[in-house]
């Protein structure tokens, strides 16, 4: 596909990042992936996306984040994460019904905040982009977003992974700020989140 090709039939993200992964050396695949994601990110930022391909776009980006987050391919993962953030905001605007399912929102949120990722991806810009993308989901589907937060915090508490617990605390704090900023603070839900935060802090000492 040329640089000027139309994306009316969808961007070949899944085909090139996932299906073409077998039999290709990591180095070659990473270099090709960086070029492809650079183009895809530009496409998502500036243009409407091919709606039937949205599910595959998310699958492909999540595949990269899962497969390469513990490797040396920092640039590839950062590009995949940045593309994920832009894709979330694009889909919220263009195809909001995609976010009507808790399981999908939970999986995307896990990868927005890299709950299982390398600590190298804890930078400020990385986090701010994640928060903005999640806020877009919250404004569209507040109930699903709140359920998602609770499920992620419960999982972090069960796993007792220090990195996950820290991410859970930061996510609770950011979520409370989002609700306050949008004047949608639910006092009962606020109480639940504060209790969760207190519990994590007490048990992690």
3-state SS string over the chain? CCCCCCCCCCCCHHHHHCHHHCCCCHHHHHHHHHHHHHHHHHHHHHCCCCHHHHHHHHHHHHHHHHHHCCCCCHHHHHHHHHHHHHHHHHHHHHCHHHHCCHHHHHHHHHHHCCCCCCHHHCCHHHHHHHHHHHHHHHHHCHHHHHHHHHHHHHHHHHHCCHHHHHHHHHHHHHHHHHHHHCCCCCHHHHHHHHHHHHHHHHHCC
Q: For the residues 88-102, what does the mean pLDDT come to?
A: 97
Q: How far is CA 15 from CA 53, 57, 88, in A?
A: 11, 10, 20
**Lowest-confidence region among 17-26, 66-75, 173-182:** 17-26
Pick 150 or 96 by higher pLDDT: 96
pTM: 0.89
pLDDT for the residue 186: 73
Q: For the residues 4-21, what does the mean pLDDT come to?
A: 73
pLDDT in tens, 110-167: 999 977 766 667 788 899 999 999 999 999 999 999 999 988 888 888 877 777 888 8
């Amino acid at each position: 596909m040329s640089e000027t090709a139309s994306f009316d039939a969808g961007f070949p993200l899944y085909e090139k990042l996932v299906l073409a992964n077998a039999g290709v050396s990591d180095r070659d695949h990473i270099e090709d992936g960086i070029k492809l994601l650079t183009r895809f990110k530009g496409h998502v930022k500036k243009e409407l996306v091919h709606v039937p391909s949205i599910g595959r776009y998310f699958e492909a980006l999540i595949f990269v984040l899962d497969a390469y987050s513990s490797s040396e391919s920092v640039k590839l993962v950062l590009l995949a994460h940045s593309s994920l953030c832009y894709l979330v905001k694009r889909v919220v605007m263009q195809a909001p019904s995609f976010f009507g399912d808790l399981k999908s929102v939970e999986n995307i949120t896990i990868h927005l905040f890299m709950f299982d990722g390398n600590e190298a991806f804890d930078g400020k810009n990385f986090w701010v982009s994640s928060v903005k993308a999640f806020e877009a989901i919250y404004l569209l589907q507040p109930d699903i977003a709140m359920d998602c937060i609770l499920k992620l915090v419960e999982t972090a508490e069960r796993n007792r992974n220090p990195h996950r617990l820290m991410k859970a605390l930061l996510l609770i704090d950011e979520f409370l700020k989002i609700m306050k900023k949008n004047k949608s603070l639910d006092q009962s839900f606020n109480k639940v989140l504060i209790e969760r935060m207190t519990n994590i802090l007490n048990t992690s000492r």
